[in-house]
Structures are given as structure tokens and as C-alpha cells.
Amino acid sequence: MTIVLETVRLKLHDIAHGRSGDKGNRSNISVIPYCEDAYPLLLEQVTEAQVLELFAHKGASAVKRYELPNLPALNFVIDDALEGGVNSTLNLDLHGKTLSFMLLAMPVEVPLDRVREFTNGRRG
């Protein structure tokens, strides 16, 4: 008998935090789960392809995901996401500082029985 667990759709923001940084026209965004046990879920659902799709309308050309199981955390490096970068972009946000929250708005499917655990580490 297989047991199908029900999931609930949350924002990535509900189970993880992060910060964006910039170098030239490249943005890096960290994604850090509040609860370490949520790391495999992030590995599975927050993929290079999905992040590229999320940033495509800004002109992003490639996404590289680095995995840090020790922390645990993910680090996304997004090429051409900053409309030229701090010294030439016309964006109000020259550095793309707000972009971590664009990524954190992404939906994730969290098993119903783990929601409490995965959102519990907040206020840390």
C-alpha cells in the first residue's frame, strides 16, 4: 500500500530566508531553510530551471545552483539579472537588493504533516 501525503502550497518565504548580493551584472541569492530538515525539499523544488524561469523577464541568461549541505543552504548565481549592473542599470534598485524576496515569493509544496516543523524555526 502506498501512502500519498497531502501537501500544502506555501511561499518559499514561509520556510526559508535569504539575501541577495551583486557583482557586475550577476546576482547571487542565498536560500537558507529555517529548519535544517527542509533542506532536501529545497534541493528538490528550488531548481536552476525554476529560478531561471522566475528571472527570465529580467533578462537572466543562466542560473548556477551551489549546494552547501553543511550549513545547510543553497546559493544561486544568476547571470544577466541586473539589467546591466549597479553602474548602468535604469532599475530603481541598482544592486538588485530586493531580488531575494522575488525568489522567496516562489511557491513550494510542503507535506502537510511537516508544515509546523518547517515554519517553526522562524523568528530565529
Partner 1 sequence: MTKDLVHIGCGAGFAGDRKDAGGPVVDTLAKRDGPKYLIFETLAERTLALAQKQKLKDPAKGYSPFLEAYVRPVLERCLAHKIRIVSNFGAANPMGGARKILEIAQELGCRTPRIAVVSGDDLLTVMSEGEIRAHKSIEGLPIGDGIVAANTYIGARPIAEALAGGADIVVVGRTTDPALVLGPLIHEFGWAEDDWDRLAAGTLAGHLLECGAQVTGAYFADPGFKDVPDLAHVGFPVATIGRDGAISVSKANNTGGAVTPASVKEQILYEMHDPSAYLTADVVLDITGVSVAQESDNVVSISGARGKPRPDTLKTTVSFDGGWLGEAEISYAGPNALARAKLARDVIRERCLERGSNAEYRFDIVGLSSTFDGGSAPYPGRPAPAPDGDFRVRAAVSSHSKEVAEDLADEVLSLYCSGPAGGGGFRRNITAQIHTASILVDRNRLAPSVSYCGAET
- Residues of this chain that bind partner 1 (CB under 8 A): 13, 17-19, 21-26, 28, 30, 32, 34, 54, 57-59, 66, 68, 70-71, 73, 75, 77, 83, 85-88, 90-93, 96, 98-99, 102, 105-107, 122-124
Residue closer to partner 1, measured from CB, 5 or 124: 124
Q: What angle do CA 120, 64, 23 make, to 5 degrees?
A: 95
Q: How many Å apart are CA 48 and CA 45, to the nearest integer?
A: 9
SS3 label, residue 98: coil
Smallest distance from partner 1 to CB 121, Å: 8
Beta strand spans in the chain (E) = 7-11, 16-17, 20-23, 26-33, 62-68, 73-79, 107-111
Smallest distance from partner 1 to CB 104, Å: 9
Smallest distance from partner 1 to CB 37, Å: 15
Residue closer to partner 1, measured from CB, 47 or 75: 75
Smallest distance from partner 1 to CB 74, Å: 9
Q: How many Å apart are CA 37 and CA 24, to the nearest integer?
A: 34
